[in-house]
């Protein structure tokens, strides 16, 4: 397998339809996305295989982004790139995600628009 096809991304989202859309885009690009519906499930996935990137739906119920970032740092020997997306009307939530340490923070519409062209970059490891 080539490096391109082994890149793993993790997605935290409880929106099953949107999760399918992200996973289909990843497959079309030769990438793999594993989805979790909770921080605990995401952490468990990260402990089994270190992801190149983590995609976070800021609209996930009860999400504590600073806690999530701390859990990822604990679970992963090398901190993956974290891309967060959320409602454009939740400016405070987007700012909080930036402050918590997310590498890229986008309104959901920009995330969707950039997904087909940027997903491979978002899941590029720091050694690529």
Residue-wise pLDDT for 116-125, tens only, equals: 999 999 998 6
The residues near 15 (Cβ < 8 Å, ≥ 6 apart) are 57, 59
Domain that holds residue 35: 3-122
In a domain? residue 127 = no
In a domain? residue 128 = no
In a domain? residue 8 = yes
Which tokens is 44 given?
Answer: 């468990």
Which tokens is 60 given?
Answer: 């996930």
Q: What is the mean pLDDT of the chain?
A: 89
Using DSSP's 3-state secondary structure scheme, residue 14 falls into coil
Report d(CA 10, CA 93) in Å as an integer: 20
The pLDDT value recorded for residue 71 is: 87
The pLDDT value recorded for residue 7 is: 81
Report d(CA 117, CA 95) in Å as an integer: 24
The pLDDT value recorded for residue 4 is: 40
Provide Rg for the chain, Cα atoms. 13
- Structural domain count, the chain: 1
Report d(CA 94, CA 124) in Å as an integer: 23
The CATH number of the domain where 115 resides is what? 3.40.50.2300
Strand order in the sheet with 53-57: 32-36, 8-12, 53-57, 81-86, 104-107
The pLDDT value recorded for residue 3 is: 41
Which percentage of the chain shows pLDDT scores above 70?
92
Weakly modelled stretches of the chain, pLDDT under 70: 1-6, 125-128
The pLDDT value recorded for residue 123 is: 92
The angle formed by the CA atoms of residues 21, 47 and 17, to the nearest 5 degrees, is: 15
The pLDDT value recorded for residue 37 is: 95
């Amino acid at each position: 397998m080539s490096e391109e096809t082994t890149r793993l991304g993790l997605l935290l989202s409880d929106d099953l339809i949107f999760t399918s859309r992200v996973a289909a885009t990843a497959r079309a690009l030769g990438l793999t996305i594993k989805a979790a519906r909770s921080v605990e499930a995401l952490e468990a996935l990260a402990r089994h295989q270190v992801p190149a990137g983590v995609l976070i739906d800021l609209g996930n119920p009860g999400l504590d982004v600073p806690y999530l970032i701390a859990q990822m740092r604990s679970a992963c020997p090398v901190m993956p790139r974290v891309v967060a997306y959320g409602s454009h009307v939740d400016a405070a939530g987007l700012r909080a995600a930036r402050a918590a340490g997310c590498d890229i923070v986008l309104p959901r519409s920009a995330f969707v628009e950039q997904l087909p062209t940027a997903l491979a970059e978002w899941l590029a490891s720091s050694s690529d």
